[in-house]
Amino acid sequence: MKIEILTLFPELVEQVVRFGIPRKAVEAGILELKARDIRDYSEDRDRRVDDRPYGGGPGMVMEAEPLTAAIAAAKAAIGEARVIGLSPQGEPLTQDWVRRLALEPGLILLCGRYEGPDERAMRAVDVELSLGDFVLSGGELPAMALVDAIARWLPGALGHEQSAPNDSFASGLLDHPHYTRPEHWRGEAVPEVLLSGDHAKVARWRLKQALGATWLKRPDLLAGLELNKEQTRLLREFIAEAGLDSPDSDVL
Ligand code: SAM
């Protein structure tokens, strides 16, 4: 997959492929990342790309021309690709979005700064995605988060010891808890079932814990799922074992 990030801070976004899974994906040749400096498309001799807002008020606005020219250059370089504007006003970025975007051959990520782009530049943006309901100073961190999340879904990027389909959200549930050595640590033992070697029992325990974690931490996710009989039984067991009250949601 080819990703172009359009930014005022190319050195910043390039860091995302210097470490961990995104770096492995680049080394394996399954991910190519280019950071394109929006200032290279400025028509100003001082390479300015921002100006004062019409109507007055604080802050500066990114000019439409350099942004649109940078998008056109990125398209010329990697071919037709979906243009994603990182924006607090966008659709919330979810694992579902990440999985779908990981299937695309190329993506262009547009990072805003200041008060954001001139609204007319948004005509060249296909979709706006947000990292959450808070405001950052720029789209670089969201773009880097998106690249990292996408890299996990590129075939061959993760070793078999780590697998994106087992992560939280992939099945609609949060991930189950994980343990490693030592078996006893500060008075707490690893759950016995994980030492049993019985794969079916381990799978059942993990599903129960995933259901329980989702019920406790993200009931909103559970409300969107239709649990089958086995899952309902496991969640009831989890609640009973934890000595918790029955949920007032209509999940069970
Ligand atoms: N005036 C804008 C507003 O209130 O909607 C905020 C502009 S923000 C200071 C500058 C840039 O940071 C935005 O254009 C966007 O690219 C990026 N940004 C800020 N918060 C973000 C978020 N939650 N998700 C994605 N991008 C964000």
* pLDDT at residue 247 greater than cutoff 80: no
Q: Pick the closest to residue 140 from 3, 10, 2, 4 (CA basis).
A: 10
Residue 172: band (very low, low, confident or very high) from pLDDT cuts 50, 70, 90: very high
* Residue 205: HSE in the Cβ half-sphere, 13 Å Cα cutoff: 15
Question: What rounded mean pLDDT belongs to the chain?
Answer: 95
- Say if ligand 1 is within 6 A of residue 132 CB: yes
For residue 5, give the amino acid letter: I
**pLDDT score, position 174:** 97
All residues at 6 or more sequence positions from 107 whose CB lies less than 8 Å from its CB, including other chains: 1, 2, 3, 4, 81, 82, 84, 101, 150
**pLDDT score, position 245:** 72
Catalytic residue check, 248: no
- Say if ligand 1 is within 6 A of residue 142 CB: yes
Return the bridge partners of 36, or none.
6
- Say if ligand 1 is within 6 A of residue 88 CB: yes
Catalytic residue check, 88: yes
Parallel, antiparallel or unpaired: strands 50-51 and 61-62 = antiparallel
- Rounded distance from Cα 220 to ligand 1 centre (Å): 26
Given a contact cutoff of 8 angstroms between Cβ atoms, the answer to whether 127 and 84 are in contact is yes
- Rounded distance from Cα 112 to ligand 1 centre (Å): 6
Active-site position among 37, 104, 115, 175 = 115
| 227-237 residue pLDDT tens | 999 999 999 99
- Rounded distance from Cα 87 to ligand 1 centre (Å): 5
Domain 2-151: which topology?
Alpha/beta knot (3.40.1280)
| 56-112 residue pLDDT tens | 999 999 999 999 999 999 999 999 899 999 999 999 999 999 999 999 999 999 999
The pTM assigned to this predicted structure is 0.95
Residue 164: band (very low, low, confident or very high) from pLDDT cuts 50, 70, 90: confident
- Say if ligand 1 is within 6 A of residue 136 CB: yes
| 2-60 residue pLDDT tens | 999 999 999 999 999 999 999 999 999 999 999 999 999 999 999 999 999 999 999 99
- Rounded distance from Cα 33 to ligand 1 centre (Å): 22
Average pLDDT over residues 185-198: 98
**pLDDT score, position 211:** 97
Average pLDDT over residues 208-219: 97
- Rounded distance from Cα 54 to ligand 1 centre (Å): 19
Q: What is the DSSP string of the chain?
A: -EEEEEES-HHHHHGGGSSHHHHHHHHTTS-EEEEEEGGGG--STT---EEPPTT--SS-EE-HHHHHHHHHHHHHHH-S-EEEEEEEEEEEP-HHHHHHHTTSSEEEEEE--TT-B-GGGGGG-SEEEESSSS--S-SHHHHHHHHHHHHTTSTTSS-TTS-GGGSTTTTSSPPPP---S-SEETTEEPPGGGGS--HHHHHHHHHHHHHHHHHHH-HHHHHTS---HHHHHHHHHHHHHTTPPPPSSTT-
Query: How far, in Å, CA of 194 to CA of 175, rounded?
Result: 16
Which CATH class, in words, describes the domain spanning 168-252? mainly alpha
Query: How far, in Å, CA of 117 to CA of 73, rounded?
Result: 18
| 106-129 residue pLDDT tens | 999 999 999 999 999 999 999 999
- Position of tokens 């086995």? 230
Catalytic residue check, 152: yes
Ligand 1, atom 7, lies closest to the CA of 115
Active-site position among 32, 104, 148, 167 = 167
Length of the chain: 252
Residue 249: band (very low, low, confident or very high) from pLDDT cuts 50, 70, 90: low
Which of 6, 50, 86 to mutate for ligand 1's pocket (most ligand atoms within 8 Å of CB)?
86
Residue ranges matching CATH 1.10.1270.20 in the chain: 168-252
Residue ranges matching CATH 3.40.1280.10 in the chain: 2-151
- Say if ligand 1 is within 6 A of residue 22 CB: no
Average pLDDT over residues 203-211: 97
All residues at 6 or more sequence positions from 167 whose CB lies less than 8 Å from its CB, including other chains: 95, 152, 175
* pLDDT at residue 162 greater than cutoff 90: no
- Rounded distance from Cα 97 to ligand 1 centre (Å): 19
**pLDDT score, position 131:** 98
Query: How far, in Å, CA of 101 to CA of 153, rounded?
Result: 9
Ligand 1, atom 13, lies closest to the CA of 112
Given a contact cutoff of 8 angstroms between Cβ atoms, the answer to whether 95 and 41 are in contact is no
Atom in ligand 1 nearest the alpha carbon of residue 62: 14
